[in-house]
Structure 1
Amino acid sequence: MSAGKLRNSFKGAASAAPFFPTLLDQMPNAIVVFEAQNQQLVYVNQSAESALDLSRKSLEGQSVHDLFGENEALASMISEVSHGHVATQRQEMLLHSVPGSIHQGTVPAHVVIASLEDPSLIMMEWFPIDQQLRSERDERVTQQVEANKQLMRNLAHEIKNPLGGIRGAAQLLEFELSEKGLHEYTQVIIKESDRLQSLVDRLLAPHRKAHVIEAFNVHEALERVRSLVLAEFPKGLRIIRNYDTSLPDVMGDREQLIQATLNIVHNAAQALSEEIRLGVAQIELKTRVARSVTIAKHRYKLAMDLHVIDNGPGIPEEIIERIFFPLVSGREGGSGLGLTLAQTFVQQHQGFIACDSRPGRTDFHIQIPYRKQEKTS
């Protein structure tokens, strides 16, 4: 059924009916409309496209069963409504995601099945019930990370001055020492002081440099990241492009967002050492447009959605909740600053960064709002 036929199928107020699908497109929750008899989809709103990670065109001809598989609770709700026993059914359940979706596995969701004025059509609406919990968790983590970053910046400033004095004293001592063999010890002091100075500089770096705001193509930035990482890991690693080329340009600091993504992709490549040795390592760079998103309690119509997905061993459970904290690293010899800096850069663009990890699949998710194209509420 075409969109035009669908509009004609919605009955009710004559003036409002033609615009009903347009209104549904503005709804933040995922909504699909399907035929009661064969459950074939006739309409999918924009939020459902985002939730299913599939376009309307690719969803044409599919049924509710194709999307969510065998689900007795869902089938029972549809049956009750389609047979006219009730007008609306609401229930919390586990929805199995469509194959190929970025949200693999099951999603705890609140599902609403409702009849329409046209008895041959049924509407299904759903939203993740952990959305509010996730929002509260993200806000709490952001506050904790910000407190830790403030502490680290204060410590960095406190360390910086005496560190310079230690290095200078070691240089003077080396100059005064007549026995050349003792220079080995002063060199240890100087080199370790330089290493700590470099660490301090990295802690302070995001707050020293002014933003250079410009419009840029995110895929050009990702191609730069891809070429840099592949130059370091030329064998055994595939970096897969999964780009939505219709994405508009992002307004932001191009170099900062390149650095943020590079830190994530480089960390992923280092974690894939065993997979690289076996020649099966892969990192996927996936871009999409996200609609009707909420970031830090602000609502945006559109956002750039970026996923960095690898097939590595996953992040250890004991540090997964702290990976964005300064000096937390799951890799021996890691500084624990790469993800902290990535989060800082993303947050400076009013975006968010999150991670979902399990053995065989780690997904770093970045969203940057298109601030010039929408209002916040």
Structure 2
Amino acid sequence: MQSPDSATTTLINNLNTALVMVDEHLNIVYANHAGEALFETGTKQLYGHSLYEFFMPGSIKGSRLKAALRKGEDFTENEIRLCFRENRFVQADLTVTNLQTEDGPRLLFELRKIDQQKRISRENQQNAQHYAARELIRGLAHEIKNPLGGIRGAAQLLEKVLENKEHQEFTQMIIEQSDRLRNLVDRLLGPNSLPRLQWSNLHQALEKVRTLMRVDSETPVTMVRDYDPSIPDVHIDQDMIQQAVLNIVRNSIQALSEAHTPSPEIRLVTRVERQMTIQGKRHPLVAKLKIVDNGPGIPPTIRDTLFYPMVSSKQNGSGLGLSIAQTLINHHGGRIDVDSHPGHTEFVLYLPIDRKESLNEQ
């Protein structure tokens, strides 16, 4: 049986609402789990530090907060836009409450992300669109592959009876183009095999991507790591996660190269998200992987169809990389979000963190 204090702490830490308390100097003295997730850091990096350290200059109205402390007034603001120093934006409803404690006056911030419900709605719409697109492609693939097989077979038979070598070059062209179209259709269908799940360190897959891009990429791009070492092992298919991240990183490098971005940089960031709903299922813990670049951003014209096959803003781009990445993450019960504006594009991969004992009980 939990003590009342322990039960209350558990209850507060399982709230979706971020609770953050500051003292009269606006230094943080408390944050629940949702509050830590809001700042994307732990209590050691929060407690004792000023609010000003985490937000862009001018984002925090210190004079209003100090006036609220001085006068003991509470206030509420709706749909505010919080601008964090790492160029991250969060839209939320905010309530500020004055508290009198043994240690002096305090301000309690209650923040509820209003983009959470929008994300769930967007995720449902995205999944429905992705499913419809894949079903359409499956039907088209069936209609294309059958005649392609016949065309290729007829060309092979024709090649055997042709004596003129020049004419045989044409039959070879038919065979080669038939094979090219068949390979394109197979790529459109994407990976169909189920993931081979194993308990793995997520950062191993990221390091393999970093190593590969150092060798494979012709564009000099700085790859910055910002990992959370506390993330436990995740039940994933390492190869699939590596492929999904690789597809996104390659897209970013190509965008940086084509835009001739000065000092091109890609950041790989890992954090833990708590109490998150993905594909209609609630997860206490989720691994959050961000791939952030300082490129030109995604054109608004393709933002809503970005994960569709054959949609691309790149020169000579096939438009398959992101579609395949989404399929691979969906195989893991996860999801991909994207936020982009000029100078900042951020793909966020969410992967549920299951407990080993709970999986063993199933």
TM range (shorter): 0.7 to 0.9
Partner of 2:160: 175
Partner of 1:146: 131
SS in structure 2 at match of 1:313: coil
Q: Does 1:337 align with 2:323?
A: no
Partner of 2:75: 89
Q: Does 1:26 align with 2:41?
A: no
Percent of aligned positions that are identical:
39
Task: Compute the TM-score of the two structures, normalised by the length of structure 2.
Answer: 0.88
Partner of 1:12: none
Q: Is the 8 A contact 2:261 2:295 kept in 1?
A: no
Partner of 2:141: 156
Q: Deviations over 1:261-311 (max 9, x none)?
A: 111112222222246x77732221111111121212322111111011122
Q: Does 1:200 align with 2:188?
A: no
Q: Does 1:249 align with 2:233?
A: yes
The structure-2 alpha-carbon separation of the partners of 1:246 and 1:84, relative to structure 1 and needing over 3 Å to count, comes to closer
CA distance in 1, matches of 2:357, 2:51: 32
Which one of 33, 36, 39 corresponds to residue 26 of structure 2? 39
CA distance in 2, matches of 1:77, 1:232: 51
SS in structure 2 at match of 1:126: strand
CA distance in 2, matches of 1:261, 1:72: 35
Partner of 2:35: 48
The structure-2 alpha-carbon separation of the partners of 1:230 and 1:289, relative to structure 1 and needing over 3 Å to count, comes to same
Partner of 1:240: 224
Q: Does 1:111 align with 2:94?
A: yes
CA distance in 2, matches of 1:78, 1:292: 32
Q: Is the 8 A contact 2:21 2:109 kept in 1?
A: yes
1:136 partner letter: S
Q: Deviations over 1:231-281 (max 9, x none)?
A: 111552222222112211110222111111111112222222246x77732
Q: Does 1:300 align with 2:283?
A: yes
Give ranges in structure 1 of 5+ residues lacking alignment: 1-14
Q: Does 1:319 align with 2:302?
A: yes
1:339 partner letter: L
Q: Deviations over 1:22-47 (max 9, x none)?
A: 54222222111122x32322111221
CA distance in 2, matches of 1:131, 1:318: 24
Q: Deviations over 1:140-198 (max 9, x none)?
A: 12211111111111211221221111111112222222222223322221111111111
Which one of 349, 355, 360 corresponds to residue 372 of structure 1? 355
Partner of 1:99: 85
Give ranges in structure 2 of 5+ residues lacking alignment: none
CA distance in 1, matches of 2:240, 2:199: 13
The structure-2 alpha-carbon separation of the partners of 1:22 and 1:74, relative to structure 1 and needing over 3 Å to count, comes to farther
CA distance in 1, matches of 2:276, 2:356: 13
Q: Does 1:264 align with 2:252?
A: no
Q: Is the 8 A contact 1:243 1:285 kept in 2?
A: yes
CA distance in 1, matches of 2:198, 2:5: 42
Task: Compute the TM-score of the two structures, normalised by the length of structure 1.
Answer: 0.85
Q: Is the 8 A contact 1:313 1:361 kept in 2?
A: yes
CA distance in 2, matches of 1:293, 1:78: 34
2:83 partner letter: S
1:49 partner letter: E
